[in-house]
Amino acid sequence: MVIDPVCGMAIDEHAAEHSLLDAGTRFFFCSVDCLNQFSARVESMKRLKLSGAQIGTISEVNGPVVEIVCERLPPLHQALYTSIDHEAYVFEAHQHLDEQRLRAIALNRTSGLQRGMPVFDTGAALRVPVTPHCLGRLLNIFGQPLDGGLPLAGEETRGILANPAPLHETVSAKGILETGVKVVDLLAPFIRGGKTGLFGGAGVGKTVLIMEFMHAVVALHKGVSVFAGVGERIREGHELWHEMQDAGVMPQTLMVFGQMDESPGVRFRVGMTALTYAEYLRDTLHKEVLLLMDNVFRFVQAGSEISGLLGRMPATVGYQPTLLTEVADLQDRIVSTTSGDITSVQAIYVPADDMTDPAVSAILGHLDTTVVLSRGQASKGIYPAIDPLLSTSKMMDRHFLGDRHYAIAEGVRAHFARYSELEDIIMMLGMEELAEADRVVVLRARKLQRYLTQPFHVVAQHTGISGASVPLAETLDDCDAFLRGEYDDVPEDRCYMRGTMKGVRS
């Protein structure tokens, strides 16, 4: 017997060599508050319950790529597996080389695999267990618990690869999904059942904004959230999990992680697993489902890695030739049906701030709303740090929003645009050199800029400021009053980090 250096558990030497969880993953799950649960239930997390007939043997292993000689070739995307001491190592078929050989991508580590090991066919693509009790849990790509809890109970399973809902079952956009976040509801409203892209780097409040959206769906719409950590760092995932527990959002949330140190096959498919659970919750519970993905660009990167490992010729800027198809396979399943709605918020990294990058362009083609988080806004203390001029929605239309909302939003955006044009003049010459009309526009724009800041519920215990959720009707009333000049005599600091303007004069 040996002592595991991370968990402090007594395990035999062979199990230590071939444990399902690597050291980094065990560190993630063996935080102080879940160590006891992990130690008691680790055995339930070690094995995938798979069965199937042998179809061939392993002939070669190159990193995550496994070459298999088969008696009969299984279809592409079929889930295959081999076993070492009753522990399953799962592969996904990706390429037929000839009539007897195929290449598969390992979804587990490949240490311990060797030539001649038998490979078995599960008979279908990868399937995950589904149950209404999945809410409040932290799972991996296989639907196994990562939170130290018991495995999901229930016999029903669903394949992670599926066709989009039939056209006759889908429904079109019904209206705005209010979030209670003023700047989002006013200038870049979420479309119920639509897709929103959240563009931003580190340190601009992206995670906090995602958590607030989760809180809004749970509190305002009595819905549920599914979070997909695509290429998530262990530290980030651990912190997000605890922050959501502290904020009280976790009981109505399901989190699925495929971490950065895992196989590219895991990062490529973990979004599909999360989407499968979102579809199940939509079809079974008939509630609002908010699907959050962080980060979709890492999904594209994983596809590019797999393409290179399989020896495919790269296409534009080195991306995989199947880029558009892979993005569409994911995005086309995010739809609303007669059973319920799935509204998606996707964090997207923009390489070199180039919005014309092929990966970004492929994703942009599927989005309804674009929200850009600006480091410049954050440096001014404007939170959420959303750039009001770059953020927009395809539904910013008078016929969809209504005349009043459209007119107020355009008026606010026009004030911000004029203020942006005059900033250099103000910096060099001062406000005194502006025309009277421009001076009024600048003063109102600065107050609107501060009014659109907002304290969030999910960080209230850290900031000491109670969170505020503002209905869209009150946001429109306040912004209309700013544009008409009703708050011209109110100091700017009275507009900062508050909910509505009710009682501000007193």
Q: Could you say which DSSP state residue 110 is in?
A: -
Tokens 């290429």 correspond to: 231
Whether the Cβ atoms of residue 407 and residue 427 lie closer than 8 Å to each other: no
Catalytic residue, chosen from 72, 115, 222, 233, is 233
Chain centre to alpha carbon of residue 110: 28
Q: What are phi and psi of 141, to 5 degrees?
A: -60, -25
195 catalytically annotated: no
Residues 190 and 184 sit within 8 Å (Cβ to Cβ) = yes
**Phi, psi of 170, deg, nearest 5:** -80, 155
User: Helices 234-246 & 206-221, crossing angle to 10 degrees?
Assistant: 40
- Judge whether 326 counts as a catalytic residue: no
- Mapping DSSP to helix (H, G, I), strand (E, B) and coil, where does residue 30 land? coil
Helix (H, G, I), strand (E, B) or coil at 5: coil
> Roughly what angle, to the nearest 10 degrees, separates helices 296-309 and 264-285?
130
- Among 206, 267, 282, 498, the active-site one is 206
Q: How far apart are CA 106 and CA 97, in angstroms?
A: 17
**The pairing of beta strand 253-259 with beta strand 138-139:** parallel
Which one from 92, 178, 212, 232 is the annotated catalytic residue? 232
428-445: b (≥16 Cβ within 10 Å) or e: eeeeeebeeebeebbbbb
C-alpha 221/C-alpha 177 separation (Å) is 9
* Nearest one of 383, 420, 351 to 204, comparing CA atoms: 383
Catalytic positions are: 206, 232-233
